[in-house]
């Protein structure tokens, strides 16, 4: 049995099946928490995480331009939307374990690992909640093609923990805060209560993930005497392809420690 956190993380990353990956993720998170509570934390250690995590045979991964678009007003459109969310959640599980395993050469306080283990555990729950919704609606994760580009941000920032924090939690997960209320509305109007509840859980917990990103980004900037705002702008321009898209959820972004002068200058609607 692996006995460092980095090895546990790598075990999740190299497990392909979604339900198996998330079960392992949940078990490993519990093991980490238990070791912390006992005052005898697992060593962080080091590992060789794969450049790309293992993925199930289905869904087929397509270039985003080739993923068919469906109108969210139809039952098939709502299934497609949930399928896309499930795919995002599965990638998010891996992203949170990856930041743990990938950057072990950067010494970080224990709280850094506590936060990302908790986030990975929550993503595992999100994946399963959304898969349960798909199954209730007669579908399943893997039934439709999915976006192949989801891991690109991780690969692009595999050598740069500043870039990883800037792009993954502070740009991509923050974007989730912008779009989730609209998705909740779609399912509320359609009377799909199970999906409304799943998305509300996701929405509430994602604020925390963005906040962890902002917290540890600022921490590292402080350690290296970098000015966080221009550093963030430079990193996003370097690693993120395209402008940020308003409307922004200013309230939830603020709650997560992302002030407007971080993201507005990167948007495509700036004056
Ligand atoms: Fe999530
Ligand atoms: Fe998240």
C-alpha 131 to ligand 1 mean position (Å): 13
Does the domain formed by 5-266 have CATH 2.40.30?
Answer: no
Those residues whose C-beta lies under 8 Å from the C-beta of residue 164, and which sit 6 or more positions away, are 99, 102, 103, 153, 154, 157, 158
C-alpha 233 to ligand 1 mean position (Å): 24
C-alpha 226 to ligand 2 mean position (Å): 26
- pLDDT score of 2: 78
C-alpha 123 to ligand 2 mean position (Å): 6
Whole-structure pTM value: 0.96
Cβ-in-10-Å burial (0-12, 13-18, 19+) of 77 comes to: middle
CB 56 within 8 A of CB 17: yes
C-alpha 148 to ligand 1 mean position (Å): 18
- pLDDT score of 212: 98
CA distance 162 to 166: 6
Ligand in closest contact with the CA of 96: 2
C-alpha 92 to ligand 1 mean position (Å): 6
Ligand in closest contact with the CA of 88: 1
C-alpha 225 to ligand 1 mean position (Å): 32
pLDDT in tens, the chain (271 residues): 678 999 999 999 999 999 999 999 999 999 999 999 999 999 999 999 999 999 999 999 998 888 887 787 899 999 999 999 999 999 999 999 999 999 999 999 999 999 999 999 999 999 999 999 999 999 999 999 999 888 999 999 999 999 999 999 999 999 999 999 999 999 999 999 999 999 999 999 999 999 999 999 999 999 999 999 999 999 999 999 889 999 999 999 999 999 999 999 999 866 4
- pLDDT score of 271: 47
C-alpha 271 to ligand 2 mean position (Å): 31
Nearest CA to 65 out of 147, 144, 142, 168 is that of 147
For 204, the token pair is 């509430």
Ligand in closest contact with the CA of 175: 2
Beta-bridge partner residues of 146? 61
C-alpha 157 to ligand 2 mean position (Å): 17
C-alpha 224 to ligand 1 mean position (Å): 30
Nearest CA to 16 out of 45, 52, 48 is that of 52
Nearest CA to 262 out of 224, 219, 218, 222 is that of 218
- pLDDT score of 72: 78
Nearest CA to 33 out of 118, 109, 94, 96 is that of 118
CB 34: neighbour CB atoms within 10 A? 12
- pLDDT score of 254: 98
CB 53 within 8 A of CB 98: yes
- pLDDT score of 64: 82
For 225, the token pair is 């005497």
Q: Where do the H-state alpha helices sit in 103-191?
A: 110-136, 152-156, 161-167, 174-189
């Amino acid at each position: 049995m692996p006995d460092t956190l980095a090895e546990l993380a790598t075990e999740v990353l190299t497990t392909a099946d979604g339900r198996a990956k998330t079960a392992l993720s949940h078990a490993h998170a519990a093991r980490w928490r238990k070791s912390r509570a006992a005052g005898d934390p697992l060593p962080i250690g080091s590992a060789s995480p794969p450049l790309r995590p293992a993925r199930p045979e289905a869904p087929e991964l397509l270039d985003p331009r080739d993923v068919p678009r469906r109108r969210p007003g139809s039952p098939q459109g709502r299934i497609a939307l949930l399928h896309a969310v499930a795919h995002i959640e599965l990638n998010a599980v891996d992203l949170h374990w990856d930041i743990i395993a990938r950057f072990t050469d950067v010494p970080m306080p224990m709280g850094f690992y506590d936060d990302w283990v908790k986030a990975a555990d929550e993503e595992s729950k999100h994946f399963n909640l959304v898969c349960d919704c798909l199954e209730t609606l007669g579908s399943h994760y893997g039934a439709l093609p999915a976006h192949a580009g989801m891991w690109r941000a991780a690969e692009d920032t595999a050598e740069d923990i500043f870039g990883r924090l800037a792009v993954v939690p502070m740009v991509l997960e923050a974007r989730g805060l912008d779009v989730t209320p609209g998705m909740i509305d779609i399912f509320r109007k359609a009377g799909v209560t199970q999906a409304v509840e799943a998305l509300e859980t996701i929405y509430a917990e994602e604020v925390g993930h963005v906040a962890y990103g902002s917290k540890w980004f600022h921490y590292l900037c402080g350690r290296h005497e970098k000015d966080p705002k221009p550093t963030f702008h430079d990193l996003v321009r370097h690693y993120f392809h395209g402008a940020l898209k308003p409307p922004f959820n200013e309230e939830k972004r603020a709650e997560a420690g992302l002030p407007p002068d971080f993201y507005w200058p990167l948007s495509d609607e700036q004056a």
